[in-house]
Structure 1
Amino acid sequence: MSEMKIEICSLKNQLEETLQRNRLLQEELDATNIGLLALTMELENKNEEVQSITQQLWQVARMVTMGELAASIAHELNNPLATVSLRVESLANKLPPEDPKQKALQIISQEVERMGALVKKLLDFSRRGQRKVTTVDVCREIEHALELIYYQLRKNRITIRRDYQAELPLIHADSQELLQLFLNLFTNASDAMPQGGTLTIRVYEGHTDIDCVAIEIADTGMGIQPDDLAKVMDPFFTTKPVGKGTGLGLSICRHIVREHQGLITIASEVGKGATVFIKFPMIKENGHASSQGVSPIK
């Protein structure tokens, strides 16, 4: 009987040891599983980073290609434009000043100059180099852009409403880049109102986290679908028909604003239009605002 008790105790001890080993093995297995899960999650994150970087590289490559294409097109257009300009000048010199044809030749000459300016912008786009930052009047650059796009706005029966705050501070910026920014935004607004509408431009001194010049550009067009709103400033994304847009305009706008340490956002209501909000940061110097030595708007 005593031998049986001893045997039972021995078996009990063995069972407890086995259970203890099993618990330790289970703990090790659980720890291993947690480690594997962490490694799996890290691997998934790295894969997402690789995909994101690959996409960015692809976009950069496409941008480079677009720049090269723009340069090629610009060079191809320059020669015939120069020829047309010389022919028009020659014809104008051969006709008396009071000849009715002089008016038509003058219009042709103006359009050739306008095309030449567009070609120059193509070349400027393809030769993006060092930015030239100067003291800039934002409203003046807006008016410059409106002059360039005036005929397109008039053709689309678009009314312009201006609301400029008096005595706005100047900012430090690249005037050519600001011109490109406003041209892109006004062109988009015009395209959104093919049946006519109102383009409202507000410029005022804003006070958020830091002082800024705030710009609002609103159209009364078709608006932007909610699903598209988050993507409209992505490179090569466009809601326009094939052949009507490259999907680069708003992407370039975002790049320009960010280069000036500003902020750009878009709000829209389908069927009522869209509004672009832009802020350029400033600091106070001797009671006057400027954007030199600024911190980016968050």
Structure 2
Amino acid sequence: MTTLKNIEQELLQSHRFLNNLIKSAVDAIIAADMDGKILLFNDAACEICGYKVNEVIEKLNIQAIYPDNDAKRIMHVLRSDEYGEKGVLRSFRVDIKKKTGEIIPISLNASIVYDDDKEVATLGFFHDLRETLKIEEELEKTRVQLLQSAKMASVGELAAGVAHQLNNPLGGITLYSQLLMEDYTLPDGAQQDLQRIIRDAQRCTDTVQELLKFSRQTTNEMHPQDINQLLSETLILVKDQTLFHNIEIKKNFQNNLPLVPVDIQQIKHVFMNIILNAADAMEGQGVLSLSTSQEQALSDRVCIEISDTGHGIPDDVLIKIFDPFFTTKEQGKGTGLGLSMAYRIVEDHGGKMSAKSKTGEGTSFLIELMLPENNSDGK
């Protein structure tokens, strides 16, 4: 009798131990019978899926936690050897659906439980990928920014060399063309040709000046500034231009933003460039939205977002917009250096600049300017 009690006690202890293991697991553990009725649902599963245990056990079908027909698809894959050993899935990427309808990315390890050769249940271990994917996204952004920085540095050096080589010949072309223009014995056709030469030489000179600005290594005059005020001052300069007469300007500036150390002229140049590009993209009609904020989760920076309701930028073009000399404007209407210069200025300020766009809906530029460490609390 004592031996039987000891066995019962050991079984109870083993049962409690196994329950505690399942209950304490970091990943969600879910088991269901072959009809889909859930038999096991640990605390992590409750947290990820948003259900309480008493709402699930023997009440909820496993299909309820998957979007669409994913439960059937997973069973099909489990029963095949398409992804490795039959009856087993390892690190299989799926989505699950919370009680609220929110979709959660998951890495699933699952297996079919057999009694002899009969399928009796499925067991799954669900690892939440949200944090992992967020980190991967940040790493990819950092990688792209590093590549862009390296590209800008290389092009900057090349641009400086090219600009200096072109400056003198262009000056000579312009000077001698102007001298020839003073020769009144030239036929009218020659006068027109010379005017065309001077005009095109001037356009080349303007491009050279942009190159020199792009490549110039100057020391920024950094002073604490009110970003809202700088944006407002930039708007004053452009809003009366003909291009802006049919554009609605919406401002959503957060009050009491901390002062940001910037070079006033350079940052205004960035704002001006993006605003003019936005107006151009909307062809003088639409909504230009400007907002500033300091999010609680990102208290070390002030964010500026400038959005338009233009035609938007296709994905294959969007990845190139910060490249020097890349432009979608017709020949003679843009050097392709505006956004690359803006990107470089923001980068020189220790900040970040990015863009997102949807074809047919518009484009949004985000500028993140960093605050000094002792000022990141917003005071």
Structure with more helix by fraction: 1
Tell me, yes or no, if the aligned pair for 2:351 and 2:368 is still in contact at 8 Å: yes
In structure 2, the residue matched to 1:254 is 343
Give, in angstroms, the shift of residue 283 of structure 1. Answer: 4.3
Matched letter for residue 272 of structure 1: E
Give, in angstroms, the shift of residue 150 of structure 1. Answer: 1.9
Pair 1:239–1:283, CA change in 2 (3 A) = same
Provide the rounded CA distance (Å) in 2 between the counterparts of 1:282 and 1:265.
Answer: 18
Provide the rounded CA distance (Å) in 2 between the counterparts of 1:247 and 1:63.
Answer: 16
Secondary structure of the 1:289 match is coil
In structure 2, the residue matched to 1:100 is none
* Percent identity over paired residues: 32
Pair 1:245–1:67, CA change in 2 (3 A) = farther
Give, in angstroms, the shift of residue 59 of structure 1. Answer: 5.1
**Counterparts of residues 55-94 of structure 1 (less than 5 Å):** 57=154, 60-63=157-160, 65=162
**Is structure 2 residue 230 aligned with structure 1 residue 144?**
no
Structure with more strand by fraction: 2
**Is structure 2 residue 261 aligned with structure 1 residue 172?**
yes
**Is structure 2 residue 323 aligned with structure 1 residue 226?**
no
In structure 1, the residue matched to 2:306 is 217
The superposition leaves residues 163-211 of structure 1 with CA deviations (integer Å, 9 ceiling, x where unpaired) of 0011111011111111111011111101101140110000011244552
Secondary structure of the 2:275 match is helix
Give, in angstroms, the shift of residue 57 of structure 1. Answer: 4.3
Pair 1:286–1:197, CA change in 2 (3 A) = closer
Secondary structure of the 2:323 match is coil
In structure 1, the residue matched to 2:294 is 205
The superposition leaves residues 223-256 of structure 1 with CA deviations (integer Å, 9 ceiling, x where unpaired) of 1011011110010111111111111111011101
Give, in angstroms, the shift of residue 53 of structure 1. Answer: 8.3
**Counterparts of residues 182-193 of structure 1 (less than 5 Å):** 182-193=271-282
Matched letter for residue 294 of structure 2: E
Provide the rounded CA distance (Å) in 1 between the counterparts of 2:356 and 2:375.
Answer: 35
Provide the rounded CA distance (Å) in 1 between the counterparts of 2:375 and 2:284.
Answer: 48
Provide the rounded CA distance (Å) in 1 between the counterparts of 2:338 and 2:255.
Answer: 30
Tell me, yes or no, if the aligned pair for 1:283 and 1:289 is still in contact at 8 Å: no
Provide the rounded CA distance (Å) in 2 between the counterparts of 1:286 and 1:199.
Answer: 30
The superposition leaves residues 6-29 of structure 1 with CA deviations (integer Å, 9 ceiling, x where unpaired) of xxxxxxxxxxxxxxxxxxxxxxxx
Identify unmatched segments of 5+ residues in structure 2. 1-148, 175-208
TM-score, with structure 2 as normaliser? 0.45
In structure 2, the residue matched to 1:107 is none
Q: How many residues align?
A: 194
